[in-house]
Chains A and B, each alone.
Chain A
Amino acid sequence: MNVQIDLSLLYPHLFLLIWALLIFAIDFFMTEDNRPSLGYLSIVGLIITAILSFASDKGTTFWGAFRADTFSLSFNIIFIGSAILTIASAIDFVKDRLKHHGEFYGLILLSTLGMMFLASSSDLLSLYVSLELATIALFVLVAFMKRDLKSTESGLKYLILGAASSAILVYGISLLYGLTGTLTFAGIAEQLNTSFMGGPLFILSIILIIAGLSFKLAAVPFHMWCPDVYEGAPTPVTAYLSVASKAAGLAAMIRIFFEGLHSSAAEWIPLILTISALAMVLGNVVAVRQHNIKRLLAYSSIAQIGYILVAFIAVSELATTSMILYMIVYMFANIGAFIVVITFYNRSGSDEIIAYAGLSKRSPFLAISMVIFLLSLVGIPPMAGFVGKFYLFAAAIQKGYYWIVVLGVLTSVISLYYYMMVAYQMYFKSGDDNSRIKVNPTLAVAILIALAGTLFIGVYPEPVLSAISGASVTLF
Chain B
Amino acid sequence: MELGVFYILAAVIVVSGLLVVTLKNIFHSALMLILCLFGVAGIYILLHADFLAAVQVLLYVGGVTILMIFAIMVTHQLTGKKIKHYNEQPVPAGLIILSLLILLIVSITRTAFEVADKAEPMPTVAVIGRALMTDYVLPFEVVSVVLLVALIGAIVIARRD
A197 in contact with B149 (CB, 8 Å): no
A110 in contact with B139 (CB, 8 Å): no
Whether B111 is near chain A, meaning CB under 8 Å from some CB there, is yes
Chain A contacts with B in 117-174, Cβ cutoff 8 A: 117, 125-126, 128-130, 132-133, 136-137, 139-140, 143-144, 146-147
Q: A1-B134, A65-B139, A146-B157 are in contact. Are A204 and B107 (CB under 8 A)?
A: yes
Whether A99 is near chain B, meaning CB under 8 Å from some CB there, is yes
Whether B145 is near chain A, meaning CB under 8 Å from some CB there, is yes
A residues less than 8 Å from B136 (CB atoms)? 65, 125-126
Report, as a range, how many residues of chain B touch the other chain: 20 to 34
Chain B min CB distance to A182 (Å): 11
Whether A259 is near chain B, meaning CB under 8 Å from some CB there, is no
B111 in contact with A110 (CB, 8 Å): no
Q: How far is the CA of A215 from the CA of B153 in the complex (A)?
A: 22
Q: How far is the CA of A415 from the CA of B47 in the complex (A)?
A: 55
Q: How far is the CA of A201 from the CA of B114 in the complex (A)?
A: 13
Q: A100-B156, A129-B139 are in contact. Are A181 and B114 (CB under 8 A)?
A: yes
Interface residues of B: mostly helix, strand, loop or mixed?
Answer: helix
A62 in contact with B146 (CB, 8 Å): no
Q: A66-B138, A143-B157 are in contact. Are A24 and B152 (CB under 8 A)?
A: yes
Interface residues of A: mostly helix, strand, loop or mixed?
Answer: helix
A residues less than 8 Å from B8 (CB atoms)? none
A110 closest partner in B (C-beta): B149
B residues less than 8 Å from A201 (CB atoms)? 107-108, 110-111
Which B residues contact A (CB, under 8 angstroms)? 103-104, 106-108, 110-114, 116, 134-139, 142-143, 145-146, 148-150, 152-153, 156-157, 161
What are 27 A-B interface contacts by the 8 Å CB criterion?
A5-B137, A62-B137, A63-B137, A64-B135, A99-B161, A103-B152, A103-B156, A114-B142, A114-B145, A114-B146, A126-B139, A129-B146, A133-B149, A136-B146, A136-B153, A140-B152, A140-B156, A143-B157, A146-B161, A179-B111, A179-B113, A197-B112, A200-B107, A201-B107, A201-B110, A203-B107, A204-B103
Instruction: List 3 tightest A-B contacts by C-beta distance, closest first.
Output: A140-B153, A200-B107, A201-B111
